[in-house]
A = this chain, B = another copy of it.
C-alpha cells in the first residue's frame, strides 16, 4: 500500500490548499458551512481519482487540481443536501452542517458548491467536462430520490438496491475518473476504461460501506452501528437477512420498516443476526467481484506509476475496516 499512501500524502496538500482558497472566497453566510463540511475528514477519493487518471494518461501539469476539486465540491454539496433530507444529526462523527449552522445555510451552501463546481469545470473550455459533471449530478440526485422512495416503501429487491447505489455513489466516482481522462484527451475509448473502473469501484465502495454499517462500532465509523437499519435504509446485508427469513417473518419486518415501528431491541437483534450469519462478509464478497472488474479495466491503460496506485486503491476500497 505504500505507493497509494505516498500518492495521497503528496497530492493532499494541493487539494486542500485549492479547496481552502475557494472556500475563503465564499460569502460569509455560507463560508463556514462550506469549510465545516469540506474539512471534516473526507477521504478525497474523488479528486484523487481524477488526478490519478489524468496522470496515468500523461497529464503532468498542475491544471488538474481545479477539476479534481470540483468533484470534491459536488460530493460535498450532495452531503449537505442529503443530511438535510435525511435529518441526519451527525456526519463523520461530528454534528451535521445543518445542525451547526441551520438548514437554510446548509441548503444554500450546497447550491453554491454545486454552482462553483460547474464553474470550475466550465473554465477549462472542454465541453465534455461539463457534460460529465452535469450527468454525474443528475445521476446522484436520481439515486438519492430512488433511495428516499425506497425507504418509504422498502422491498428486498436487489435490482432496486443496485440502481440506488449506482446512482447515489458510483456515478459520481465514475464521473471523477472520466473527468481525469477527458481532461487529457477527447478519445472516448480511454475515458470509457476510466469510467468502467470508476463505476465498479464506486459500487464496491458503497457495498463495503453498507457492510461496515452493520459491523463497525461508533468509535471507528463516526456513526452508530446499524444506522442504516434505523433509518429504514434497505442495504445488501439487510436484503440477505430478509432472503433468509420465512415469508411471514420477512413480511412482518418489511412492514415494521415501512411503518417505522422497529424497536431498538428489534434493530439490535437484526444487527446481531446479520453479524452472526456472516452477511456483512457476503456483502464484501459481492464487492470483491466489482473490484475485480474495476482492476481488469486498468490492464488496457499504459503502464505508469499511477496505474499501480489505482490498482492499490481498488484493493484498499475492498479491505478498509472503517
Q: What is the CB-to-nearest-CB distance from A231 to chain B, in angstroms, rounded to a whole number?
A: 13
Which of A35-43, A145-153, A199-207, A221-229 touches B? Answer: A145-153
A104 at the interface (CB under 8 A from B): yes
Does A285 interact with chain B (Cβ within 8 Å)?
Answer: no
Q: A27-B145, A28-B149 are in contact. Are A134 and B108 (CB under 8 A)?
A: no
Q: Which B residues are in CB contact (< 8 Å) with A131? A: 119, 122-123
Q: Is A85 among interface residues, defined by CB-CB distance under 8 A?
A: yes
One of A45-53, A136-144, A234-242 at the interface: A136-144
Q: Does any Cβ of B come within 8 Å of A298's Cβ?
A: no
Do B135 and A130 touch across chains, with their CB atoms under 8 A apart? no
Q: Which residues on the B side are within 8 Å of A122 (C-beta)?
A: 127, 130-131, 133-134
Among listed A110-118, A263-271, A307-315, interface-contacting one: A110-118
Most central of A111, A125, A142, A146 by chain B CB within 10 Å? A111
Number of copies: 2
Interface of A is mostly: helix
Which residues of B have CB within 8 Å of A138? 112, 115-116, 119
Q: Which residues of B contact A30 (CB under 8 A)?
A: 145
* Bound-complex Cα distance A135 to B117 (A): 11
Chain B CB within 8 A of A303 CB: no
Structural contact, B148 and A121, CB atoms closer than 8 A? no
- Beta-carbon contact of B119 and A141 below 8 Å: no
CB of B127 within 8 A of CB of A125, answer yes
Q: How many Å lie between the Cα of A106 and that of B4 in the bound state?
A: 41
- In the assembled complex, the CB of A122 is this many whole angstroms from the nearest CB of chain B, namely 4
Binding site for B on A (CB under 8 A): 27-30, 81, 84-85, 104, 107-108, 111-112, 114-116, 118-119, 121-127, 130-131, 133-135, 137-138, 141-142, 144-146, 148-149
